[in-house]
Amino acid sequence: MLNTTKDRFELQPLREFYQAGHTRTYAFRKKQLEKLKQAVLDHEGEINKALHADLKKNQEEAWATETGLLLMEINIMLRNLKKWMSPKSVSTNLLNLPSTSKLHKDPLGVVLIISPWNYPFQLALSPLAGAIAGGNCAVIKPSEMASATSTLINHIISKTFDSNYIKVIEGDGAELVPVMMDEFRFDHIFYTGSLNVGRSIYRHAAEHLIPVTLE
């Protein structure tokens, strides 16, 4: 019988992939952002169909609120990634003079991205782009209320990325998310959605001292 999150979802390989250092280099992050961008462009027609099936969004609305925003963010990340990754010189306190000080920006680890139903593509993959740029591994939980988009996201991600690096888990969020958070220690959780669900996620994350970004 399979009775743990590790057995059912195989999340531990993401931790091992991250700890092996694969995600830390500029070259790796840049390549993954380029792969995400190309995957969105390659599947744009399918994305439009899924968004229309779930939310009756037309092609123009899908571009304005979903794919266009995502592609714009990826382009900004690609232009600025090297600068963002570079250590930043900061002032040194009196105790440590005459040494110099620099601020280094390190990845967090394995992050969980939970997306809502109303912008189901953009609010799953825009945070993913940020996680990639930051050098993290990611688990995406798309909204089950936008089932066509959820299925397509799973297809695109599994086709584009190593499952030990980025993984999509579909299903009832109210059932799956608490189990994942109990049995696997994420390093950050990103959720955009309703106030009540946000409170529940924050309360659950606090029990495990997991930092959270909410809308």
Residue in 9, 11, 4 with CA at minimum distance from that of residue 165: 11
For 124-175, what is each residue's pLDDT tens digit? Answer: 999 999 999 999 999 999 999 999 999 999 999 999 999 999 999 999 988 8
Confidence grade of residue 94 (pLDDT, cut at 50, 70, 90): confident
pLDDT confidence of residue 154: 97
Residue 151 CA, chain-centre distance (Å), reads 16
Please give the average per-residue pLDDT across 183-203, as a whole number: 91
Query: Concatenated DSSP letters for 91-142?
Result: ---GGGTTS-EEE------EEEEE--SSSTTHHHHHHHHHHHHTT-EEEEE-
Task: Output the CA–CA distances (angstroms, integers) from residue 86 to 19, 29, 134, 188, in the order listed.
Answer: 21, 14, 12, 22
pLDDT confidence of residue 96: 86
Written in H, E and C, the secondary structure of 54-88 is: HHCCCHHHHHHHHHHHHHHHHHHHHHHHHHHHCCE
* Residues pairing with 89 in the sheet: 102
**Taking 70 as the threshold, does the pLDDT of residue 1 lie above it?**
no
**Taking 60 as the threshold, does the pLDDT of residue 102 lie above it?**
yes
Q: Token pair of 23, please?
A: 């995600």
Q: Token pair of 143, please?
A: 């909204």
Provide the 10 A C-beta neighbour count for residue 51: 27
For 31-49, what is each residue's pLDDT tens digit? Answer: 999 999 999 999 999 999 9
Taking only Cα atoms into account, the Rg of the chain, rounded to an integer number of angstroms, comes to 18
pLDDT confidence of residue 193: 83
pLDDT confidence of residue 8: 58
* Residues pairing with 101 in the sheet: 90
Residue 119 — φ and ψ, nearest 5°? Answer: -130, 65
3-class DSSP state of 141: strand
Provide the 10 A C-beta neighbour count for residue 103: 9
Percent share of the chain, pLDDT over 70: 96
Q: Token pair of 2, please?
A: 């399979």
Across 4-13, 81-90, 129-138, which has the greatest mean pLDDT? 129-138
Least confident interval from 5-14, 105-114, 141-150, 155-164: 5-14
pTM, 2 dp: 0.91
